[in-house]
């Protein structure tokens, strides 16, 4: 009996392929899929095209081999289990490098997760920490002091117990401040302590060297804002920093508990700090904005 050749229509193949890609891209956008899910969804596109169009054996072999299809199926069905079973050793093998919020590709590693994650929780710094000044300002006005025109007024607030001195702590370091003062309302001070404690605890659980975060900006007066605006185009007149509720924590510098040399530009430390802030934000403890130019997490207590 003569074999019947499967008819292959090239134009139909490309048309269906384009439609499938467009539909899957729309699904990925609407569902806000994680990077891993988007990666696997892209790998599934070829199979869907193969199922939608009659393709000759020769073309089918060129597009995707049966062995690759089987491997993809295995990966799709076991991905979630694999992610949940990652050990601390696996985490340490993950390559995290981020410049301008785009993952760099490590061509020297065979680790399948290396070029996928920023972190298991924080897949994108801007997307996970989007809280604008307008959003944070509402919380600052609700939880903070009345903005002060000068530093003399700030000291009156301190004497009345409305503000607490945060300049020394075992949980964080306050950098030398030039345009702000080391005072916060008690609720914000408590948040800052929690950040420092959770950061060290998370580093310990992951087996990383212990560090504490560095605070770069705290409470500003109207005079501080005016001086700052001369050299900082991002500074706004009605700043959350005027209410004693807002803190800037750098993600580029950390102080080791052992040793005196700052650890700079460490992606693992940045990732862990981001995860700590992510959890506190999810618990409605604070609003957080990822600042590129100032290289900090700008956060306000809720």
Mean pLDDT, the chain, rounded, equals: 75
Q: In the predicted model, is pLDDT for residue 287 greater than 70? A: yes
**Are the C-beta atoms of residues 167 and 174 closer than 8 Å to each other?**
yes
* DSSP assignment letter at 219: B
In this prediction, residue 26 has a pLDDT band, given cuts at 50, 70 and 90, of low
Please tell me the predicted confidence (pLDDT) of residue 105. Answer: 35
Rounded mean pLDDT, 254-262: 91
In this predicted structure, the answer to whether residue 174 has a pLDDT above a threshold of 80 is: yes
pTM for the structure as a whole: 0.61
Judge whether 278 and 293 are in contact, CB under 8 Å: no
Domains and CATH numbers, the chain: 10-85 (no CATH), 90-117 (no CATH), 125-301 (3.30.1380)
For β-strands 183-184 and 98-99, DSSP reports them as: unpaired
The pLDDT value recorded for residue 225 is 86
Counting residues of the chain whose pLDDT is more than 70, the rounded percentage is: 58
Q: Is 282 exposed, middle or buried (0-12, 13-18, 19+ CB in 10 A)?
A: exposed
Task: For residues 255-282, give the mean pLDDT.
Answer: 95
Residue 163 has pLDDT above 50, yes or no: yes
Q: What is the band of 275 on the pLDDT scale with cuts at 50, 70, 90?
A: very high
User: What percentage of the chain carries pLDDT values higher than 90?
Assistant: 52
Per-residue pLDDT, averaged over 111-137, amounts to 77
Q: In the chain, which ranges are continuous DSSP H helix? A: 10-31, 35-52, 57-63, 66-84, 88-93, 125-128, 133-143, 151-159, 186-206, 222-229, 267-282
pLDDT at 228: 76
């Amino acid at each position: 009996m003569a074999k019947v050749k499967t008819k292959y229509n090239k134009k139909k193949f490309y048309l269906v392929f384009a439609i499938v890609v467009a539909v899957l891209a729309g699904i990925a956008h609407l569902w806000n899929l994680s990077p891993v899910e988007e990666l696997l969804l892209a790998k599934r596109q070829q199979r869907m095209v193969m199922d939608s169009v009659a393709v000759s054996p020769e073309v089918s072999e060129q597009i995707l081999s049966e062995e690759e299809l089987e491997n993809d199926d295995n990966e799709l069905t076991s991905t979630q289990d694999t992610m949940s079973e990652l050990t601390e050793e696996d985490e340490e093998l993950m390559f995290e490098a981020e410049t301008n919020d785009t993952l760099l590709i490590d061509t020297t590693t065979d680790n399948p997760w290396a070029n996928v994650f920023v972190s298991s929780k924080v897949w994108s710094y801007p997307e996970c920490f989007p809280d604008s000044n307008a959003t944070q300002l509402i919380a600052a006005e609700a939880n903070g002091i009345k903005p002060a025109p000068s530093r003399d007024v700030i000291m009156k607030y301190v004497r009345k117990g409305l503000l607490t001195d945060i300049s020394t702590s075992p949980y964080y370091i306050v950098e030398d401040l030039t345009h702000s003062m080391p005072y916060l309302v008690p609720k914000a001070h408590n948040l800052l302590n929690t950040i420092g404690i959770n950061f060290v605890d998370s580093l310990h659980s992951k087996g990383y060297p212990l560090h504490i975060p560095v605070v770069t900006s705290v409470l500003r007066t109207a005079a501080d804002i005016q001086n700052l605006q001369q050299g900082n185009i991002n500074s706004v007149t009605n700043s959350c920093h005027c209410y004693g509720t807002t803190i800037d924590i750098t993600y580029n510098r950390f102080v080791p508990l052992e040793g005196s040399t700052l650890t700079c530009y460490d992606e693992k430390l940045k990732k862990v700090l981001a995860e700590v802030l992510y959890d506190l934000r999810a618990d409605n403890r604070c609003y957080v904005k990822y600042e590129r130019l100032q290289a900090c997490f700008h956060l306000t207590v809720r």
